């Protein structure tokens, strides 16, 4: 191993023990190296083995996980061979793992200060004032407001984006040699994402840390990573230099992923990948054959090896460089036309607070808007701007201190328990973190069929199960999932179950709180396409919270911009993108990651991708991820 390599993984295979003592292989023959000062990006759909590979590479083997083959060398130490006590001395000091679900990574019973202090006490021997000063310094670096007060608060008192920033501060606290980042920007707004990514890149370069960056955000990986590895069915199917792989992908799966990336120009509908990836490694055939438009008979006869196509660019496809690329016609957006009519939802001068009387802090300040039948309204803004609190107030899960909310002219009770059964059926909410909303003791069938039992009690068991299977197919989940529990699902699969549960009773209003932030681009495309179709076909209205402005352009008719609980701008999406009138809206638009693989591929005529004009406001003074003004 050369001196520039911090972690070298060779021949890694991972499986799960079954009840009959067989081993189900979910990762097979994976090789990669993490170099000091460099970032390896890893992408692929949910369930393709990205997180499993990352965990196994650092020696972590939960439950029935087994590692039958491979090595993972940190210097002269093979992390797959050493005992757990030695691993624990390495974890948190030389190797740090930052998980996707920020709320689950923080202990709810301990203050942020206590959780930040512990790793520095254990691994660095840093105590007292020196430890405290380092905590303040780290929180300032990651942009947590009022660090001194933040150290005394508990995790539930922070937004999802703020929790993720705190996790990042803890991860960087001991200056690790290897940093494993599992979806570290999930749930962050675009401006915060730009700051976090800039901080990460600077820290990795300055400290010569080697990083593995797992993400479903391909444009982000194109900007932040030096190399990218694409995983499918537990194997690396393509790897190469980031810009080369994004501009000249050779595997049909990589091309399909790029075609599913939201288009900030708003000129086309999103395009998902039909079907779903297999649940494990496929032997004897290319695993992508059932979903590949370019497969031939030979593809079903053997699973190809990962071979070099160009220097430093490897592909696992027998047709790489030779198959004919068919252009995909510009499929128009499926957004329905919203007719002028009485609003379905009206929010009038709503104020919401946190805290007790005399010590309360307003987080939603006089918000007013309406949503028509069949309309999708996007609510955007930085983390902590009051978006989720506003949505919870509409759902009756957070009290409003003043103001009125009406549904079809009927005033909604502030508490959901005091609303009628029909209103509870008509207004459904999908939360950002499915781990907090799915009962771990119930399987998928029970979770999704529960609303049918409550709101359509006359349905027979057979009819309920048929409805469940249909909605699971709509959100791209195979029927084999119906008897699994949430602990057996990936993060993206859990979110799809939560979305299916909300849709199964055909509600008239969906409140969606960052529902695609944990999903890979293909499933995101399918879910957003489903939202648009429901809205167009059934008149379902959607209030959609997101930090991804490219998603806003793809699915919303109008957008409402919030900052610190105040509405800064509201209007049609095209207007907000092309000619925003508020400075804060302009900042959000300018912070959209501008690398466009679709545009590059279209220009080179090497792939089935579409492109459109980049918004004028977003073109000004742009280099890399964000403008200097935002990133600084």
pLDDT of residue 339: 64
**What is the band of 276 on the pLDDT scale with cuts at 50, 70, 90?**
confident
**What is the band of 602 on the pLDDT scale with cuts at 50, 70, 90?**
very low
**What is the band of 336 on the pLDDT scale with cuts at 50, 70, 90?**
low
What would the pLDDT profile of 177-192 be if each residue is shown by its tens digit?
999 998 887 767 777 7
Task: Determine the average pLDDT of the residues in 363-388.
Answer: 91
| R_g of the chain computed on alpha carbons | 24
pLDDT of residue 64: 79
Domains: count for the chain: 2
Determine how many CB atoms are found less than 10 A away from the CB of residue 332: 9
Task: Determine the average pLDDT of the residues in 380-392.
Answer: 88
Task: Determine the average pLDDT of the residues in 510-514.
Answer: 91
Angle, nearest 10°, between helix axes 461-474 and 491-503?
A: 130
Q: Which of 468, 429, 488, 454 is nearest to 64 (CA)?
A: 488
CA distance 493 to 443: 13
**What is the band of 630 on the pLDDT scale with cuts at 50, 70, 90?**
very low
Q: Which long-range contacts (C-beta less than 8 Å, at least 24 apart) are formed by 184-188?
A: 184/98, 184/213, 184/215, 185/215, 185/217, 185/220, 186/100, 186/102, 186/517, 186/518, 187/102, 187/160, 187/161, 187/383, 187/432, 187/514, 187/517, 187/518, 187/547, 188/161, 188/164, 188/383, 188/547
Residue 610 has pLDDT above 60, yes or no: no
pLDDT of residue 170: 92
| Domain end residue (candidates: 227, 247, 267) | 247
Task: Determine the average pLDDT of the residues in 616-621.
Answer: 33
What would the pLDDT profile of 86-129 be if each residue is shown by its tens digit?
999 999 899 999 887 667 789 999 999 999 999 999 999 999 99
pLDDT of residue 609: 31
pLDDT of residue 411: 95
State the DSSP H helix or E strand holding residue 112, giving kind and residue range, or none if neither: helix 112-124
Task: Assign residue 585 the CATH number of its domain.
Answer: 3.40.50.300
User: In this predicted structure, which of 440-444, 561-565, 608-612 has the lowest mean pLDDT?
Assistant: 608-612
- 334 domain residue, yes or no: no
Residue 529 has pLDDT above 50, yes or no: yes
Cβ atoms of 263 and 553 within 8 Å: the answer is yes
Task: Determine the average pLDDT of the residues in 277-304.
Answer: 92
pLDDT of residue 604: 37
What would the pLDDT profile of 389-411 be if each residue is shown by its tens digit?
999 999 999 999 999 999 999 99
CA distance 343 to 409: 8
Q: Collect all residues with Cβ–Cβ distance below 8 Å to 70 and sequence separation of at least 6.
A: 9, 10, 11, 12, 13, 30, 56, 80
- 622 domain residue, yes or no: no
pLDDT of residue 425: 94
The most confident of the ranges 448-462, 528-542, 583-597 is: 448-462
Q: What percent of the chain has pLDDT over 90?
A: 52
**What is the band of 277 on the pLDDT scale with cuts at 50, 70, 90?**
confident
Cβ atoms of 256 and 45 within 8 Å: the answer is no
SS3 564: coil
SS3 348: strand
Specify whether 241 is located in the same domain as 386.
Answer: no
pLDDT of residue 596: 52
CA distance 226 to 275: 31
Residue 587 has pLDDT above 50, yes or no: yes
Specify whether 66 is located in the same domain as 200.
Answer: yes
**What is the band of 330 on the pLDDT scale with cuts at 50, 70, 90?**
very low
- 406 domain residue, yes or no: no
**What is the band of 616 on the pLDDT scale with cuts at 50, 70, 90?**
very low
**What is the band of 1 on the pLDDT scale with cuts at 50, 70, 90?**
low
- 131 domain residue, yes or no: yes
pLDDT of residue 611: 30
| Domain end residue (candidates: 247, 280, 305) | 247
Residue 601 has pLDDT above 50, yes or no: no
pLDDT of residue 428: 94
Q: Which of 48, 30, 28 is nearest to 40 (CA)?
A: 30
Domain membership of residue 392 as a residue range: 373-399+414-590
pLDDT of residue 17: 81
pLDDT of residue 420: 94
- 340 domain residue, yes or no: no
The two tokens of residue 181 are: 């980042």
Residue 328 has pLDDT above 70, yes or no: no
pLDDT of residue 142: 80
- 363 domain residue, yes or no: no
Round the average pLDDT of the chain to a whole number and report it: 84
pLDDT of residue 271: 74
Task: Determine the average pLDDT of the residues in 212-237.
Answer: 92
pLDDT of residue 14: 94
Name which residue leads in pLDDT, 141 or 454.
454
- 535 domain residue, yes or no: yes
Residue 628 has pLDDT above 50, yes or no: no
Determine how many CB atoms are found less than 10 A away from the CB of residue 458: 5
- 332 domain residue, yes or no: no
Strand partners for 212: 40, 180
Query: Could you identify the residue written with the tokens 């000062």?
Result: 37
The two tokens of residue 122 are: 């254990």
Task: Determine the average pLDDT of the residues in 311-335.
Answer: 70
Determine how many CB atoms are found less than 10 A away from the CB of residue 425: 17
pLDDT of residue 321: 79
Q: What percent of the chain has pLDDT over 70?
A: 87
pLDDT of residue 238: 97
């Amino acid at each position: 191993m050369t001196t520039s390599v911090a972690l070298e993984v060779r021949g890694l295979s991972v499986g799960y023990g079954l009840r009959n003592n067989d081993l189900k292989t979910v990762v097979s023959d994976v090789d990669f190296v993490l170099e000091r000062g460099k970032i390896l990006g890893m992408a692929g759909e949910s369930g393709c083995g990205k997180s499993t590979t990352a965990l196994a590479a650092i020696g972590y083997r939960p439950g029935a996980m087994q590692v039958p083959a491979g090595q993972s060398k940190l210097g002269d130490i093979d992390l797959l061979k050493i005992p757990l006590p030695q691993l624990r001395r390495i974890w948190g000091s030389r190797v740090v793992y930052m998980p996707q679900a920020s709320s689950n990574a923080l202990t709810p019973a301990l203050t942020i200060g206590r959780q930040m202090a512990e790793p520095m006490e254990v691994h660095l021997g840093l105590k007292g004032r020196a430890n405290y000063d380092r905590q303040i310094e780290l929180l300032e670096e990651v942009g947590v407001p009022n660090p001194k007060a933040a150290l005394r608060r508990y995790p539930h008192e922070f937004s999802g984006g703020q929790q993720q920033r705190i996790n990042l501060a803890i991860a960087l606290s001991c200056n690790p040699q290897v940093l494993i980042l599992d979806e570290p920007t999930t749930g962050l707004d675009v401006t915060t994402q730009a700051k976090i990514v800039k901080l990460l890149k600077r820290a990795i370069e300055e400290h010569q840390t080697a990083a593995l960056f797992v993400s479903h955000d391909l444009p982000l990986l194109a900007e932040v990573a030096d190399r990218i590895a694409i995983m499918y069915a537990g194997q690396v199917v393509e790897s190469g230099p980031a810009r080369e792989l994004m501009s000249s992908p050779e595997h049909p799966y990589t091309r399909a992923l790029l075609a599913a990336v939201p288009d900030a120009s708003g000129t086309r509908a999103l395009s998902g990948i039909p079907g779903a990836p297999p649940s494990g490694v496929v032997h004897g055939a290319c695993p992508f054959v059932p979903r590949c438009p370019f497969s031939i008979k030979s593809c079903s006869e053997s699973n190809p090896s990962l071979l070099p196509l160009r220097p430093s660019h490897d592909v696992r496809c027998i047709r790489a460089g030779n198959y004919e690329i068919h252009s995909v016609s510009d499929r128009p957006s499926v957004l329905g036309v919203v007719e002028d009519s009485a609003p379905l939802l009206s929010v009038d001068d709503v104020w919401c607070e946190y805290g007790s009387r005399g010590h309360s802090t307003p987080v939603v300040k006089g918000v007013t808007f309406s949503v028509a039948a069949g309309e999708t309204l996007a609510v955007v803004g930085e983390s902590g701007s009051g978006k989720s609190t506003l949505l919870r107030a509409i759902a009756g899960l957070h009290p409003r201190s003043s103001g009125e909310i009406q549904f079809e002219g009927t005033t909604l009770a502030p508490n959901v328990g005091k609303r009628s059964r029909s209103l509870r059926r008509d207004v459904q909410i999908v939360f950002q973190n499915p781990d907090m909303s799915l009962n771990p003791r119930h399987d998928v069938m029970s979770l999704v069929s529960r609303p049918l039992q409550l709101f359509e009690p006359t349905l027979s068991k057979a009819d309920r199960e048929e409805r469940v299977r249909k909605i699971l197919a709509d959100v791209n989940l195979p029927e084999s999932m119906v008897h699994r529990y949430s602990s057996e699902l990936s993060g993206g699969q859990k979110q799809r179950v939560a979305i299916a549960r909300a849709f199964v009773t055909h509600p008239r209003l969906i409140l969606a709180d960052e529902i695609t932030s944990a999903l890979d681009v293909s499933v995101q495309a399918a879910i957003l396409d489903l939202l648009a179709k429901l809205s167009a076909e059934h008149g379902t209205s959607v209030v959609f919270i997101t930090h991804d402005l490219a998603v806003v352009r793809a699915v919303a008719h109008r957008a409402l911009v919030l900052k610190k609980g105040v509405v800064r701008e509201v209007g049609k999406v095209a207007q907000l993108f092309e000619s925003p009138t508020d400075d804060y809206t302009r900042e959000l638009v300018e912070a959209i990651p501008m690398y466009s693989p679709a545009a590059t591929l279209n220009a080179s005529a090497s792939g089935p991708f579409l492109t459109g004009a980049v918004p004028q406001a977003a073109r000004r003074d742009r280099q890399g991820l964000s403008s200097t003004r935002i990133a600084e």
